[in-house]
Amino acid sequence: MCGMKLKHLGGLTPEQFISEYWQKKPLLVRQAFPGFGDVLTPNDLAGLACEEDAQSRLVMEKRGKWSAEHGPFDEERLSHLPQKGWSLLVQGVNHFLPEGAEFLQKFNFIPTARLDDLMVSLAPDGGGVGPHFDSYDVFLLQGYGKRTWRVSSQQDMELVPDAPLRILKNFRTDEEWVVEPGDLLYLPPHLAHWGIAIGDCMTWSVGFRVPTTQEMATQFMSWMAENVCLQGMYADPDLKLQQHPAEISGQMVQKVQAMLENIQWTSNDVAHFLGAYLTEPKSHILFDPPRRMSLDKFSARLATHDIRLDLKTLMLFNGEQVYINGETAQLQGAALELLKQLADQRALPASVEFPPQALQLLCDWYNAGYLEFDE
């Protein structure tokens, strides 16, 4: 894909897009995906919002007051929505819709490690989630109906108090576009924007994760606690008598500080942490293992059937380490190259040769529900 001009980037190469637009300024591409709009219907999305393992929200606005409900919803609730003033949002649509997962591959010029998920929103005429800003990059594809997008480079980020979302109190429009099915709008982080439905409207949002420094540090320290092994124990043969027995002495503080200074990490530790952290499934995601298959039966099936990652599976690699759904495997040679191909393409054809080490891992992952055969 490097060096190739992409229609859905307006004829830019990935290098040009990253250099000129990524995390810098918006880009609108008319008819980036011609004919797009019939992949997912409003009824389909409403059905997903009723699923137990889907993350969904219903954002309501009435007379300037905002509220939010969290799914799963029942059909009765969604069948009695008002004619205006709401937006239904479903996260992780790529976990349920193969076409959604395939759509995400259109953006693999951005590392998979940065990808969050595909969200789809539904709103009636005039609906939306109000003027707001996000801390992440997003590609917004119009999938059904039309929507007006307004953007602003304003520095005033004062929020409407007590709103369930980061609704901007004083939005000022700098640019405005009306998008139709197939149009794609890229927005960088922290750019204020406001989408307003024109008639019934569905929008596909490809979001890229941006953990805060605090979140990353917290998760890394948790990972270190499980993986670091420090030797020794507290000792004070030079203990000094204290006037106050309840006082934590400076001597004790210095000794513990010296002990903690033994906590060190390398770039390999950071890489292993990232592999586990970035592929760890979100708490609501569960895998449904198939009927257990022996290695011999799995090998025989693999000889005639392609295999692919489950839609919910996350897979990355670094060096000789392969990470899948928070688990780690170390490989070399042909086995490593094969699993790197699986991570990149999310599928492997039956025609390839499977080294024994890779075969055993694939069988284990299949039995865990991480893989499935392409029927």
pLDDT tens digits, one per residue of 118-138:
999 999 999 999 999 988 999
pLDDT of residue 6 exceeding 90, the answer is yes
Question: What's residue 10's pLDDT?
Answer: 95
Rounded to an integer, the average pLDDT of 278-294 is: 93
pLDDT score of 249 more than 80: yes
- Domain edges within the chain: 7-208, 216-265, 295-373
pLDDT at 284: 87
Residue 2 confidence (pLDDT): 64
pLDDT of residue 351: 87
Give residue 125's pLDDT. 95
Please, which pLDDT band fits residue 87 given cuts at 50, 70 and 90? very high
- Give bridge partners of residue 66 from the DSSP assignment: 61
**What average pLDDT does the segment 42-69 reach?**
92
Q: Please answer whether residues 24 and 188 qualify as being in contact, where contact means their C-beta atoms are separated by less than 8 angstroms.
A: yes
Q: Provide the pLDDT for residue 275.
A: 97
What was the pLDDT predicted at 1?
60
Percent of the chain at pLDDT exceeding 70: 99
* pLDDT for the residue 33: 95
Average the pLDDT over 275-296 and give the result.
94
Q: Is 165 left (phi over 0), alpha (psi -120 to 50) or beta?
A: beta
- So what CATH class is 7-208? mainly beta
* Enclosing H/E stretch for 260: helix 250-260
**Terminal CA-to-CA distance of the chain, rounded, Å?**
28
pLDDT for res 162: 85
* Cα separation, 31 vs 12, whole angstroms: 14
Q: What is the pLDDT of residues 172-220, one digit of tens each?
A: 999 999 999 999 999 999 999 999 999 999 999 999 988 899 999 999 9
Q: What is the pTM of this model?
A: 0.91
Buried b (16+ CB within 10 A) or exposed e, 110-131: bebbebbbbbbbbbbebbbbbb
Mean pLDDT, rounded, for 3-18: 94
CA distance 237 to 219: 36
Task: Tell me the per-residue pLDDT of 302-320, one tens digit each, with 9 for 90 and over.
Answer: 999 999 999 999 999 999 9
Cα–Cα dist 365/324, whole Å: 9
Query: Is residue 63 scored above 80 in pLDDT?
Result: yes
The mean predicted confidence, pLDDT, of the chain is 94
Query: Cβ of 148: how many Cβ atoms within 10 Å?
Result: 17
Question: Rounded to the nearest 5°, which phi and psi values hold at 76?
Answer: -60, -40
Over range 54-79, report the average pLDDT. Answer: 92
The architecture (CATH level 2) of 295-373 comes to 3-Layer(aba) Sandwich (3.40)
Residue 350 CA: distances (Å) to CA of 295, 302, 353, 362: 16, 6, 8, 13
